[in-house]
Amino acid sequence: MTMKKIVTEVVASLKKLPSPEKKSKTFWDYLKDQLYSESQWDKNDLKVIEKEINSHLNKIEKKDLTEMWKSTDKGFEKFDEDKKVDAKEMKEDLTDEMLGQVMDRMDDNYSSKDSYFSQPETTFVSEKKVESDDLDEDTEPDKIDEEKIDLEDKDIFDDGEFDEDEESRL
């Protein structure tokens, strides 16, 4: 299971929960109203979202949880620094990450490229190492076969006249 899939399932479940204010609205609508009213988030409302996220994280095996955690900023930093992290801390980091993604989806103008909780682009670079130490990029090749080069002075220095078609384009 991926973070994106968990976030999608959390959003779907929030759309099924009733609003604490109006029975005709969903919890999701209630949260969106809060977003657009620019009021403070109620900690209890955030706990509902976190509880939904945790219910999904609790179903994931530790190995998969660790891989998912390493793909987050916090997880990557902690893993890179060789910090010992238990499953509880991984779940807390993942919950924070996914909470941000759920919040992003509340915005009607949401797109994965335009996020309140922006994530860095993941880029993988493949480098090919050259084993030879005597390779110098500034040196020219030893021998150039002049017979293979079909280039005349007029090809380079031809200030000649233009034909009518070329002249009309100028």
Residue 37 domain flag: yes
Residue 132 domain flag: no
The confidence score (pLDDT) of residue 136 equals: 57
- SS3 label, residue 111: strand
Residue 94 domain flag: yes
Question: pLDDT tens-digit profile of 121-153?
Answer: 444 444 444 444 555 556 665 666 666 676 676
Low-confidence ranges of the chain (pLDDT < 50): 113-132
Q: What is the spatial distance between Cα 150 and Cα 143, in angstroms, rounded to a whole number?
A: 16
Residue 32 domain flag: yes
- Residue 92 exposed, middle or buried by CB count within 10 Å (0-12, 13-18, 19+): middle
Place of tokens 């009518």: 164
Number of domains in the chain: 1
Q: Which domain holds residue 22?
A: 3-106
